[in-house]
Amino acid sequence: MKIIHSLSFCLIILVSGCSLFIGNDSDVAQKLNVEVSINGSIIENNAHYNVGTVTSNQPIPLEITIKNNGNNDIQINNIYFDTTNGVNYYFTDYPPDRIILPYHESITLHFNYNSNILGFNETPLYINITQSIESNFIINLNSNVIMKPISGVDVLFNYLRTHNQDTINLGSVIKNTQQAFNLIISNPGSNPLTIFSATISGSPSITLKKNITALELAPGDYFETEIIFSPFFASNDIQSTLTILSNDIENSNYVLNLRGFSTD
């Protein structure tokens, strides 16, 4: 008996007869030994990822991680969207050349997702991979696109969108060391936004790198700073509150609850 295997076909010659199986491209893609996640959520091939409700022409930062779970190197030839439905995108750290990903290693890339078509939107994201043969890993990004508000405040913590009254986990930091977290405050509206103040109250171990007072943000503009977590002592519960006061009609008092802990 002689058996010849490949990712796209399997030819089996038996003493009693012969059978032939030819798989299509989706069959091959299902067998790709890769793990793909968006913002930490593992996505199966040909599955859906819900981006959520987004504002028209307001870029949404997303993070995609591709991990090679096989025993051989793979080549990532291209990552691209089907843009026929009004979606625009760009990678902020996408390398210009093809990516050779050694086995058991991963790569994380960041891109902005932006749509100007109102209502429900489904956009295929293609990851073209060569693993013995070339095939696509496909993720369908779903979003509900709404009109740009007249005014508004949008807050990103470490490039992930937050909501008013969210609790943010800062994780663990060794005492007398520090960790910085990116904070972006933007105006997704069509009118100017005034940030009266952005302050942190509570534990002195959590501070803003740059205090914010009387900040004017034009439509589409943003302000970027950092939250510094630098505990002076070991504790299993360090809490502070970030409060952003603005002229936003719906979220004039925007609050993020910050929690972390420290070790010796």
Helix (H) or strand (E) holding 145: strand 133-146
Domains by residue range for the chain, with CATH? 9-16+24-146 (2.60.40.10), 154-263 (2.60.40.10)
Hey, what's the torsion of the CAs at 127, 128, 134, 135, to 10 degrees? Answer: 40
β-bridge partners, 5 = 10
Q: Is the pLDDT of residue 12 over 70?
A: no
pTM for the whole thing? Answer: 0.49
Q: Is the pLDDT of residue 18 over 80?
A: no
- pLDDT tens profile 84-123: 777 777 788 766 678 899 988 999 999 888 887 788 888 8
DSSP secondary-structure letter at 149? P
Mean pLDDT is highest, among 16-30, 131-145, 237-251, for: 237-251
- pLDDT tens profile 52-91: 888 887 788 899 999 999 888 999 998 888 877 777 777 8
CB 140 within 8 A of CB 48: yes
> What span, in angstroms and rounded, lies between the C-alpha atoms of 238 and 170?
9
Q: Is the pLDDT of residue 196 over 90?
A: yes
Place of tokens 């439509």: 219
Mean pLDDT of the chain: 82
Residue 242 buriedness (CB in 10 A; 0-12 / 13-18 / 19+):
buried
* 244: number of Cβ within 10 Å: 23
